[in-house]
Chains A and B, each alone.
Chain A
Amino acid sequence: SAVISQKPSRDICQRGTSLTIQCQVDSQVTMMFWYRQQPGQSLTLIATANQGSEATYESGFVIDKFPISRPNLTFSTLTVSNMSPEDSSIYLCSVEVGTGLHTFGSGTRLTVV
């Protein structure tokens, strides 16, 4: 299965600023997914990123707030823009490595102060 490196592992940011999270995979994958996990909560899909096309956002998430890049088949970034304390969460990327089989990165723990 794929190995995912996610950076940074954690950060503390000032409100109003932006943070870009990187996700690097050790093999080429078609689809990459970005999730948010609020404290003590489940995982909620933010968007699906396909190489060479615009990301597809889930209901409640918009591109202006969470712009995503997918420049090649092994890399993606998620930016959390104009942050507020409500954005404090764990952000996770995942890839589909088999039919329905998803592997997750270790996550980015974001605290907005």
Chain B
Amino acid sequence: GENVEQHPSTLSVQEGDSAVIKCTYSDSASNYFPWYKQELGKGPQLIIDIRSNVGEKKDQRIAVTLNKTAKHFSLHITETQPEDSAVYFCAASMNSGGSNYKLTFGKGTLLTVNP
């Protein structure tokens, strides 16, 4: 099955700096790569995603890049703010039959933005 590796496990930055989180996946059939943000006591919330036919996607301060050849994808957060502090999860997904996409998650990155 799919295996997703995520690094780093913890990341501390100063407010205004950029943060980068990297993930690799093992199954070349994976074709959908979402990123989730989980705040304490809450469920994961989708912040950005990318499909395998696209190399980069940006939404305001957040961007995701995908390198299909190398099987890795990254989350970039610019101009970080204290409210960006949370655990971030990457995931990889493929169609596992019919319309069902099953997600495999990385282990998560605890991002701390220091004021």
Contact = CB atoms under 8 A, between A and B. Distances in A.
Main secondary structure of the interface of B (DSSP, over half): strand
Interface residues of A, number: 24
Interface string A46-88: 0010000000000000000000000000000000000000000
Interface residues of B, number: 24
B104 to A, nearest CB: 8
B44 to A, nearest CB: 5
Interface string A87-113: 000001010100111111111010000
B103 A106 contact: no
Contacts of A104: 36, 43-45
Contact of A99 (B99, B103, B108): B99
A100 B46 contact: no
Contacts of A44: 105
B42 interface: yes
B100 A42 contact: no
Nearest to A108: B43
Interface string B98-115: 011111111110000000
A26 to B, nearest CB: 15
A106 B43 CA distance: 4
A42 B105 contact: yes
Contacts of B41: 106, 109
Interface in B32-50: 32, 34, 36, 41-46, 49
Contacts of B104: 45
A30 interface: yes
B89 interface: yes
Interface of B: 32, 34, 36, 41-46, 49, 51, 89, 93, 95, 99-108
Ranked 6 nearest A-B pairs via Cβ: A100-B32, A104-B43, A100-B101, A106-B43, A42-B105, A42-B107
